[in-house]
Structure 1
Amino acid sequence: MQLQRDLLSLALYLIGFIFILVRFKKKKLKHVLIWTGIFLILYFCFIEIREKTFYLLIPLFFFFLFYYFYFKDKCRLRNGWLFNLFLLSFMGYLVILTFSSRSLISAGILGVLILLFLFSFLFGIYAAIIFLIGNSFIVLRHESRRLPNLLTLILALAIIALVIIQTYEAQLLPEWMLPLLSIPTLISGYFFIVFWNFLSISMIYQFNQPKEDQDFIIILGAGLIDGRKVTPLLAQRINRGIQFYQQQLKETLSAPKLLMSGGQGPDEKVPEAVAMQEYAIEQGIPIEDILLEAQSTNTLENMKFSKEIMDRERPSGYHAIFTSNNYHIFPAGMYASQAGLKIDGIGSKTARYYWPNAFLREFIAVALMHKRIHLFVCGGIVVLGSLLTAASFISLH
């Protein structure tokens, strides 16, 4: 009976899946995810009704909690914690369903998740080392040898050092010092959890699809070539803004203003906003649809000074979004919240080789925004490790 139930359910899911692929030309992934969610909820509800249980309410509670807080304020790290609580509760639910109802579908989903976990546990560290070292050489071949471009190499070397400490600490050091050497491992584990949370919410934030009713599109500046021309990376940001501009103009016949935001660095001949304006005009954007913010020196100032311009242009209220590279939009959204702007970001594509290094840089920037919390936790780990080391030394001597 259970086998027939699950095979029929899978057949219905595949029919809906094929219909989406044939019916929709755009946003197929979005519709597939929605259909998958609806199918699973209906399937699980059917089993719950038959079994007269209510276990599904636990993951649903965490999902709707995440949903509420995410759409209340998308650029908050707490949303990542709530989403991961949903994932953990959902995995627990799959375990219960697999054994209590003999569900083939839940067993299949759980099996895939377990295989991914085992693969990550057995090979994840070594695969990460190989990937990070390989990526660092690719970055150095394409980019300058500045510290921000060495982050993947530095992380790989740190992981190697940690593995060596874990492997040889028992042979090289007395037993009473082992708690002291657990400090780097615990701190690394803590930052891995923090990084995972940042990665989770950053990936979710990539799915932003703002409505085509915007008054302004803020385009965040970056460095210039020879102090005058936009870089390929900055051009991608501008192109993403122009793409939305043209899409909204086509759909609503109302064009938003492109707000170029970027000041003049010490090695730049013109403000970034001016170079961005010239590039946009070359792409066919009328100059009357472009506004300039040419005073900012960082992302927070981009948002603050852009807000001042938009408040002045439309004191009665407005809708706005911002564009940046995909690895940067979540941190930029956090800065927008600090500046008093409740706006969404849309990301432009970034070269794949550059993504890991850039994402690590953004993670460090966000971690520094909450440095007090991290210093408190790391300090607690150091104190605890030191106390355990002292206790171990006293007990052995």
Structure 2
Amino acid sequence: MELRFESSLFIVYFLGLILIPIWNKVRKSKGNWLLYELGWFLACLIFYLLSLEVKSRTYFIGIPLVFLGIFLFRYFKEKRRLSNGLLFNLFLISFGGYLGLLAITTQDPLLILFLVTLFIGLLLLLLVGLYAIIIFLYWNALIVWRKEGHSLANLLTLFLAIGLTGLLVLDYVSGHFLPQWMASLFAIVPMILIYFAIVFYNFLTISIIYQFNRPKYTQDYIIVLGAGLIEGKRVPPLLGNRIEKAIRFYNKQKEKTAKTPKLVMSGGKGDDEHLAEGLAMKQYAVEKGIPETDILVEANSVNTLENMRFSKEVMEEDFGGNGYQAIFTTNNFHLFRAGLFARQASLKANGIGAKTAFYFLPNAFLREFAAILLMRKRRHAMFCAAIVLLNVLLALLQLLTSSLAAG
């Protein structure tokens, strides 16, 4: 009976794998069908796990469900929180613990095989992951160097690759040639890097989750966040992608609900620019067929926070109050940080992200992460100071112990 159930589930699962891309092609969807495949796999896995729970009369699934419930409650209450990334990762950790507990309890061969495969994959990732990351970062730095120029902001992946290479050398030297107390002092650097790696992972988690915003087609305004202009007067491809994203939403909303939103082009005039970014963006949108009457311009902001604050003022003046609905568009790597600034400006708006060339994403996310760190620099400085203090105390203790032993 159990074999028949498992066989039937596998047949249904593989049928889904085959039919999903066909269904996606028939409906002419531009969405990523791999996400549907992942969703289908998770649905079948959860169904199988629930069947094991029923047979063994256990309720272990309640453990990860509690963490998932906490994450979902906090996320839908306010999506623009960095702590949401930590909450989601706590759910993943609890789900992993749940799988292990269920495997021990039920001794199910398929679940054990799945966990062993997963464990081997994670082990290989730990063994070669850092080396693979370093090689990838050097390769990516070379691509960005060739395509985007040699500015400091475009060299972040190169700096990180060099730093990680130095870390490997430092780890080898401290482990083979230094006394234990001195090795504890040298451990300060890798421990701080591990701390920032965890912070980055949480940031990356919520940044990816935030990409899945699906705003309702009931918006009154779509804010387009500005960026620099080419030769001080022309819209570059990066900014053009933001405007195109807003135009697609604009047209889709008109098609679905007949409610026409207004585009708010937000961007001031830089020192090296001939006109305000907002005006250049308006001209770009008009050339794409958007009526001038559907475009508002905010031409005073010089950063993302001011984009949000001044756009809010423009919308309130145009709407005659604050009861409007609004979203904003920017590039996908900038989406979550822009959401943080919208929250800081008391603007109730979430964003939709325009696609960015893959080769540019690692450098762009590192730049975003650096900006996120600066937003909460006092908190991170306190954690780093605590790591330094603990390691210095440990080194002093080890030095004292070794001196007493030698005496």
Matched, 1:213 2:213: no
Q: Is the 8 A contact 1:6 1:105 kept in 2?
A: no
Task: Find the counterpart in structure 2 of residue 352 from structure 1.
Answer: 358
Q: Give the aligned residue type for 2:9.
A: S
* 1:308-387 map, 5 Å: 308-314=313-319, 315=321, 317-387=323-393
| Structure 1 unaligned regions, length at least 5 | none
Give the match's secondary structure for 1:258. strand
What is the alpha-carbon distance in structure 1 between the residues aligned to residue 85 and residue 104 of structure 2?
29
Give the match's secondary structure for 1:68. helix
* Stretch moving more, 307-316 or 292-301: 307-316
Task: Find the counterpart in structure 1 of residue 229 from structure 2.
Answer: 224
Q: Is the 8 A contact 1:259 1:290 kept in 2?
A: yes
Q: Give the aligned residue type for 1:6.
A: E
Q: How far apart are 1:264 and its partner, in Å? A: 0.7
What is the alpha-carbon distance in structure 2 between the residues aligned to residue 373 and residue 105 of structure 1?
45
Tell me which of 288, 294, 299 is aligned to 2:293.
288
* 1:230-245 map, 5 Å: 230-245=235-250
What is the alpha-carbon distance in structure 2 between the residues aligned to residue 316 and residue 185 of structure 1?
48
Task: Find the counterpart in structure 2 of residue 81 from structure 1.
Answer: 86
Give the match's secondary structure for 1:322. strand
* 1:40-79 map, 5 Å: 40-79=45-84
* 1:250-261 map, 5 Å: 250-261=255-266
Give the match's secondary structure for 2:353. strand
What is the alpha-carbon distance in structure 2 between the residues aligned to residue 375 and residue 12 of structure 1?
52
* Stretch moving more, 5-14 or 35-44: 35-44
Q: How far apart are 1:15 and its partner, in Å? A: 3.6
Task: Find the counterpart in structure 1 of residue 284 from structure 2.
Answer: 279
Matched, 1:148 2:139: no
Q: Give the aligned residue type for 1:135.
A: N
Give the match's secondary structure for 1:218. strand
What is the alpha-carbon distance in structure 2 between the residues aligned to residue 103 and residue 22 of structure 1?
33
Q: How far apart are 1:360 and its partner, in Å? A: 0.2
Q: How far apart are 1:95 and its partner, in Å? A: 1.4
Task: Find the counterpart in structure 1 of residue 191 from structure 2.
Answer: 186
Tell me which of 150, 163, 166 is aligned to 2:168.
163
What is the alpha-carbon distance in structure 2 between the residues aligned to residue 51 and residue 179 of structure 1?
48
Give the match's secondary structure for 1:69. helix
What is the percentage of aligned positions where both structures have the same residue?
48
* Stretch moving more, 247-256 or 273-282: 247-256
Q: List structure 1 runs of 4+ shifted beyond 6 angstroms.
A: none
Q: How far apart are 1:97 and its partner, in Å? A: 2.3
Give the match's secondary structure for 1:346. strand
Over 3 Å counting, the alpha-carbon distance change for 1:18 and 1:175 in structure 2 is closer
What is the alpha-carbon distance in structure 1 between the residues aligned to residue 352 and residue 137 of structure 2?
27
| Structure 2 unaligned regions, length at least 5 | none
CA root-mean-square deviation: 1.8
What is the alpha-carbon distance in structure 2 between the residues aligned to residue 161 and residue 119 of structure 1?
22
Over 3 Å counting, the alpha-carbon distance change for 1:116 and 1:271 in structure 2 is farther
